[in-house]
Amino acid sequence: MEEKTPFWERPAVRTLIIFVAMVVAYLVLGMWVDAGITTKTAEQIDADRILSSLFDAFFCIVGVGLWAVFFSQFILPVRKIKQRAEIFDRFTTYITGGHGPAIFVENGNIRASAGETSRKGPGLMWLDSASAALLRRPTNYTRTIGPGVHFTKKDEYIAATTALFPSILTFGPGEGEDPFKIAKDDPKYDEVQRHHWETRALTRDAIEVGASIAVIFRIRAEASEADKQRGDGCIGASRFGFDETNTGSYIRECISKDAKIDQPVWSTLPAQMAVDVWREYLSRFRLEQLFEIKEEKADGSVITYLQFISEMVKKRLTEASVPRLNDFGEASAETLPSPEFKRLSEMGVKVVNVNFKRLIFKPEVEEKFISQWTTLWMKNAQKEREFIEKARRLQVEKGRMDALVNFANLAGKDFSKFTPRNKDEALYFLVNATTREVISKYISQIGKTGVDTLTDMKRWLQDKTQ
């Protein structure tokens, strides 16, 4: 039961007491001053006092009203004339105690003093750039409001609030949780198993696979022409994006699913859809297929069937149409409309990304994979070694052939100028060209002794041919 505010602590009563006390003090002070300095008759004094009091009271009331109008403009960041009139109205109703809720919403969380949200009079709400709210009356929803200052009418209050920034929802086992290895007497056993069953799926050959799936989503908001012209990066007065229709649809959907309205509402539907699609696609592949290469790109990177499944799950939640897969996971040129994307669009939700954090297998399956990968690694390593050795031999042979060709070209330079008369002269031509090339390029390596030896051999052959 709501506690009633004591009579003497009510804002209206306290304001009235202060006002009456100030008037009485003013009249007493005026009577005391007039009685001390006036030389008029008693009748003139009384008439002047009454006229002066009425005149002062009039200007006092008008002055208080003008000052109230002036100072009320600095309470909240308002710009329009209508908003300025509204803030003055809320200011006066606050003084008299007939005001409604005065609430600040930060990141979707309501910040208000005790009992403030239960007030029924005209009120105001200030939402930061990351907040939105759905307002209602006892019988119906009224409107959706976003970032900024808003004035509520009598009997209008918050149905629920939400945050506009992207939400991250993770289903499946968390870090360090393994549903296949945890002992049954472990205090966290039931919790870990519950997380496992959130995403548990079976392959086409009935192998159980656990997964940790994270879905990032936000309320859909597209920039209007006014937002683009403004050029400040905001959509609907929020840097996170605000669309009245989509936000209203999202909050109403959350309320219909029994979301807790005492905190920012959010929906688990995008993550549940991701899990359902994951189970559907996994059931079309055998376990061994998951890590096989599906296709190889032009840049040399490869895509496995597991990556293909992850990409298809994301497409089902982010694209209006997706490729059709047969019962064996093979994609065709035909496309089908995505029911998940359609449902999320109607709900006002945009999925940003779907991420598969980890897969979990039974220990015997992991051991089998490790054994297969080890054997496969050895085979691949042996093949790579044979390939490298073959390539090395080919390069050696190619180098030898290139060296022979170069030597033949070098040694036969003199044959293009002269025709040898006999074998001795032909041998001299070969040795002369070779010696000349060796001395010009490798003199620093063979030294003086080497040069002398080659020179003597060339002269000996030259003398022999004469």
CA-to-CA dists, residue 274 to 103, 211, 246, 332, 380, angstroms? 37, 11, 21, 22, 36
Q: Read off the pLDDT band of 336 (50, 70, 90).
A: very high
Angle of helix 81-96 versus helix 11-37 axis, rounded to 10: 80
pLDDT, residue 1, reads: 40
Q: Which one has a higher pLDDT value, 347 or 380? A: 347
What are the percentages of helix, strand and coil residues in the chain, rounded to 5? 55, 20, 30
Burial (Cβ within 10 Å: 0-12, 13-18, ≥19) of residue 246: buried
3-state secondary structure of 358: strand
pLDDT digits (tens, 9 = 90+) for 314-335: 999 999 999 998 888 888 888 9
Residue position matching structure tokens 């022999």:
464
Pairing between β-strand 141-145 and β-strand 349-360 as defined by DSSP bridges: unpaired
CA distance 449 to 223: 87
- Indicate the range of 146-160, 337-351, 427-441 predicted with least confidence: 427-441
Q: Which one has a higher pLDDT value, 75 or 391? A: 391
Q: Closest Cα to residue 210, out of 329, 354, 358, 311?
A: 358
pLDDT, residue 71, reads: 60
Task: Supply φ then ψ for residue 69, to 5 degrees.
Answer: -60, -40
- Indicate the range of 114-118, 392-396, 439-443 predicted with least confidence: 439-443
CA distance 346 to 361: 36
What is the CATH T-level fold of the domain 167-224+265-361, as seen in this structure? Answer: Tetrahydropterin Synthase; Chain A (3.30.479)
CA distance 179 to 194: 9
Q: What is the mean pLDDT of residues 381-402?
A: 83
3-state secondary structure of 112: coil
3-state secondary structure of 227: helix
Pairing between β-strand 102-106 and β-strand 109-111 as defined by DSSP bridges: antiparallel
pLDDT digits (tens, 9 = 90+) for 15-62: 677 777 777 776 776 666 555 555 556 666 666 667 766 767 776 776
pTM of this structure: 0.65
Is there a contact between 209 and 360 (Cβ–Cβ < 8 Å)?
Answer: yes
- Name the range with the highest mean pLDDT among 35-39, 127-131, 298-302, 361-365: 127-131
pLDDT digits (tens, 9 = 90+) for 197-225: 999 999 998 889 999 999 999 999 887 77
Is there a contact between 145 and 175 (Cβ–Cβ < 8 Å)?
Answer: no
pLDDT, residue 23, reads: 72
Specify the DSSP element, H or E, that contains 378. Answer: helix 363-411
Q: How many CB atoms lie within 10 A of CB 312?
A: 19
pLDDT value at 84 more than 60: yes
Is there a contact between 163 and 247 (Cβ–Cβ < 8 Å)?
Answer: no
Is there a contact between 190 and 196 (Cβ–Cβ < 8 Å)?
Answer: no
| Tokens matching residue 133 | 């709210």
CA-to-CA dists, residue 466 to 130, 138, 141, 415, 454, angstroms? 105, 128, 121, 18, 19
Pairing between β-strand 102-106 and β-strand 123-127 as defined by DSSP bridges: parallel
